[in-house]
Chain A
Amino acid sequence: MNNVLSNSKLVFFWLFFILLATVALVRQTVLQAELPIETNILALLPENQQDPFAQQAFEQVSNNVSNKVVFLLASEDKTQLVAAASDFSAKLLTTKLFSGFSAQLSAHEQQAWAKLYFPYRAQLLNDQQKERLQLAPEKQVTKVLQQVYNPFSGVTGGELENDPFLLFRDYISSQSGSSSNFSLYQGYLTTQYQGKHYIIIRADLLGDPYDTKLQNRLSNLTQLEDSIKAEFHVKLLHTGTIFFAAYGTQSAKSEISTIGVGSLIGVVILLLSVYRSVLPLTLALLSISCGLLVAFVITVAVFGKVHLFSLVFGASLIGVSIDYAFHYLTERLVAKDRWQPQLALKHIFNAITLGLLTSLIGYLGLLIAPFPGLQQLSLFSVVGLLGAYLTVVCWYPLLAKSASKTAVPQLRFISLWLKLWQKPKLRLLLPGLLLLFSFVGFYNVHFDDDIRQLQALPSDLKAQDRQIKTVTGVGQSQQLLLVKAASDEDLLVRLSEVGKQLTDWQKQGVLLNYQSISQYVPSIKRQKENFALVKTLYQSQAEKLAAKLNFSEPLGFDLQFNPLLVDDYLASTVSEPLGFLWLDKINGKSSAVILLNQVNDSGVIQAYISSNDDLTYLDKANEVSTIFGIYRVHISKLLISAYLLIGLLLIWRYGLKLGFLVITPPVIAACVGLAVTSVVGIPITIFNLLALILILGIGIDYTLFFAEQKEKVEAKNTLLAITLSAITTVLSFGLLALSETQAIHGFGITVLTGIIVAWLLSPLAMINQAVKG
């Protein structure tokens, strides 16, 4: 072993590797236009959708929705409101955020619906009209008379000439009325809500909402909004993925720097106050940075990008990777004149290698999970730890040739704590009590696999989003229903069948409303039925109508059937808001999405979907939450097997009694960590289980060093090194507990309490002393 360690080849190999990694880092960051950092939360999620239709639907819908920004201007004064909207929209493009926007509808756009439908007017009837024409066509004549005489109806000569039965106006208004409660005022889409007037303005982003460059330009928008608010005294609300994404980026960035800088400062202060010399500080920083360097470079090389989330966790790696350095440096501190760099390494080699192995077992388990996020996290940690370990093993003996001249700090509480552990009562009582407490905590455990816990959602943005949805009548939440069929026509027929069911449920309050392409394009079958009805109407009622209104010429029916196709709809500007619901064909099969607004009773809809093969619920968040739940169970099993495996390894090395004593503290620590988290009221997620892996990895390091020590004097040194490492770990993870993202916050708390308990109980493994003492 000595030969391997002193081999200078290894030293140079590691040096070469680090240099290579540095070059790679420069290539990945400085020489790239963009930093290889991913901020989209969806990138953390598994992509391997079984269903290509579902995958396409999800992508198309999320692209369409996420690239939109909605503004809502509000005022009691309509004139001010219009002035504000006009000024705001005129300056909107100067923010360099948007590719286009729709504020004021031009005359052309206002007529787009009528233009699309007008040539097909004899084929278009709403349900009410269809029923009337089937059962009592004469009533349509009465209806026409009534409207022609009615001064409020606005029937003009031109309209009557083109559509003497006035069918088209009702069809068109039932179309526009079904989807919005907005009306036009000077070309603006306006609505009234609780005494205030509102104007809606929609804009399309210039690019991806997760693009940090685009996010940086949001300050331009804030400036513009502020000036509009100040000048016109209007309220201005906005919502859109980019605002949430930008907030996420911002908070993750600040968390990385708080945690990273915080734990680094902690480490530096600790090193300086204990070792009181520059060399240990330099060495420790060296192993930390080598670890982070290779971790970053290799993760980017494998995944293309590093997710911010991995970096947040990764920053806390500082606290773990420093352990190896602490043990070596403490050896040096204590040895003083008897210092032999190689011997010291040999001394701690077994302990730190075993420590590394146990940590790697834990982390490698995560690689199995099909979550890119977890895989990244695991790779980042594994490589980072290996890097720090190799730096200690390869370089420390060479770099720390000189002996330490600093006195060993006399930490009285350490001796006191060790003395306490000599008492058999404490050895039983403390672990027993902690175990008891964790059982109480388990009683309160509450699991929650909701993916949304991963997102930090600021209440201000959420409130704006809620208000916009309330005013516009969109509903608080949207869900997607995927419908598949063999052809476009089959799909339209199916969509309208499903739509019929949904309309019934809408009346019962199961959901607020829905949007589907079938509301805008009837199936050809339906169009043919309508056409026949309209033709019959002319044949049976035209004479009667002409007589009542004294038409100068007899009414004839000269329209030909010519189907209105989905493609006609998609080609028109009217399809801009909802055209994305229609999906491209896959293997000749057609599919489309129905947008469900605010489902109040999902059970009813769930049951309907599961009894129809061609319907699928597309709920990425729920789907992922389900997967999270499944993996929470998987990881629990994995965790138990990891603990068992490590336990066996320890029993094989130390025998039954010591092996048991070495594994017990981390196990109790894990239980307490989990218990405290749930007692505090935080639901347990997959991430708290990840925390248990860390507790196992780090906690076992602590006990291993006690088990590996040969002499009684070493106990104090060991506890000193462990104390230092525990303080840094607590420092870094304690800072994680400050995170605004609930999942990270919970993770931090679990690790924090677990590590403290692991540190408290670690002397349990100093069996030699107990026998001697």
Chain B
Amino acid sequence: MLIKKKLVALFVSLLFVFSVSTQAVALADVQQKLTAHSLLRGLFTQTKTMQMFNQPLVSHGNFLLEQNQGLLWQQVEPFPVSLVLVKEKLSQQFGEQAAEVIVAKDNPMVFYFSHLFLSLFKGDMDELTDQFDIKLSEKGTNWLLLLTPKSAPLNKVFANISIEGSEFIDFLVLTELSGDISEIKFEQQQTTPNTLSEDEQRAFQF
């Protein structure tokens, strides 16, 4: 009897250890996948579905993520905009107009969200676990991270944020409490060439 009890206890604790470790391994796995490539290029399609709009707002363009430098976000449709997000600065260039630069120090609120976006995109688990409860599951052959915000101000706005992918990030979905949804789909991800072109390099220098 006693032995049986002990066995059950052992089993339960083993199960517990096991499940924790699988998740830990998998999370680390996802992070490892997302950070494996120092350079990632691809196309994006953003669809914003809001109650205020008759039709969803759709935009297309291409992106470049450089692990150390930051993110280059070039929207082509419906109008050309070039956004460059580095650690403490954000540059916006609308068409051929002069670029507008926002510095984190001057505008911490804007950067709060920009930083979050970058963390989501890069799979920076250290940053994310501070602010979200993270659940990892499988969706077909893809992995799916479901992030539920823990504290204000995020939990006042977002119901949850999900990231889905296989080798790269494929989908990023932000669901607001109001039911409005922003979805970004990533396609044709490429890891080569694995160096920045001169133009790209210049884009990060501002």
Contacts and interface: CB of A to CB of B under 8 A. Distances in A.
A454 interface: no
B160 interface: no
A184 interface: yes
A550 B54 contact: yes
A173 B110 contact: yes
Contacts of A160: 50, 52
A257 interface: no
A274 interface: no
B101 to A, nearest CB: 14
A181 interface: yes
Given A157-B50, A183-B108, A149 B57 contact: yes
Contacts of A107: 151-153, 156
A152 B152 contact: no
Give the bracket for the number of chain B residues in contact with chain A: 35 or more
B83 A152 contact: yes
Interface in B178-206: 178, 180, 182, 184
B46 A551 contact: no
A186 interface: yes
B125 interface: no
A552 B81 contact: no
Interface string B90-133: 10101000000000111111111110011000000000001100
A181 B53 contact: no
Contacts of B57: 148-149, 549-550
Contact of B55 (A149, A176, A181, A550): A550
B108 A177 contact: yes
Given A154-B113, A173-B107, A149 B53 contact: no
B16 interface: no
A176 to B, nearest CB: 7
Nearest to A109: B152
Contacts of A552: 51-54
Given A107-B152, A149-B57, A552-B52, A157 B46 contact: no
A432 interface: no
A660 to B, nearest CB: 73
Which residue, A148, A153, A156, A549, has most C-beta atoms of chain B within 10 A? A156
A46 interface: no
Interface in A69-113: 79, 106-107, 110-111
Nearest to A161: B52
A182 B108 CA distance: 7
A156 B117 contact: no
A145 interface: yes
A172 B153 CA distance: 15
Given A156-B178, A176-B109, A550-B55, A151 B117 contact: yes
A655 interface: no
A169 to B, nearest CB: 8
Contacts of A184: 108, 112, 153
Contacts of B104: 183
Interface centre among B94, B109, B131, B184 (most CB of A within 10 A): B109
Nearest to B179: A157
Contact of A551 (B48, B53, B118): B53
A177 B110 CA distance: 10
A150 interface: yes
Interface string B33-74: 000000000000010101111110101000000000000010
A458 interface: no
A92 B94 CA distance: 50
B108 A150 contact: no
A157 B83 contact: no
A506 to B, nearest CB: 13
Contact of B106 (A111, A148, A158, A177): A177
Nearest to A555: B52
A146 B94 contact: yes
B134 to A, nearest CB: 16
B184 A151 contact: yes
A146 B130 CA distance: 30
A743 to B, nearest CB: 42
Contacts of A152: 73, 83, 85, 90, 113-114, 117-118
Given A149-B81, A169-B109, 19 more contacts: A145-B79, A149-B75, A149-B78, A151-B46, A151-B117, A152-B85, A152-B90, A152-B118, A153-B110, A156-B176, A158-B176, A176-B108, A183-B109, A183-B111, A184-B112, A549-B57, A550-B53, A551-B54, A552-B54
Interface of A: 79, 106-107, 110-111, 142, 145-146, 148-154, 156-158, 160-161, 169, 172-174, 176-177, 181-184, 186-187, 549-553
In order of increasing CB-CB distance, the 6 nearest A-B pairs are A107-B152, A154-B113, A183-B108, A157-B180, A152-B114, A157-B50
Interface of B: 46, 48, 50-55, 57, 59, 73, 75, 78-79, 81, 83, 85, 90, 92, 94, 104-114, 117-118, 130-131, 151-153, 156-157, 176, 178, 180, 182, 184
6 contacts: A111-B152, A146-B81, A146-B94, A153-B110, A173-B109, A550-B53
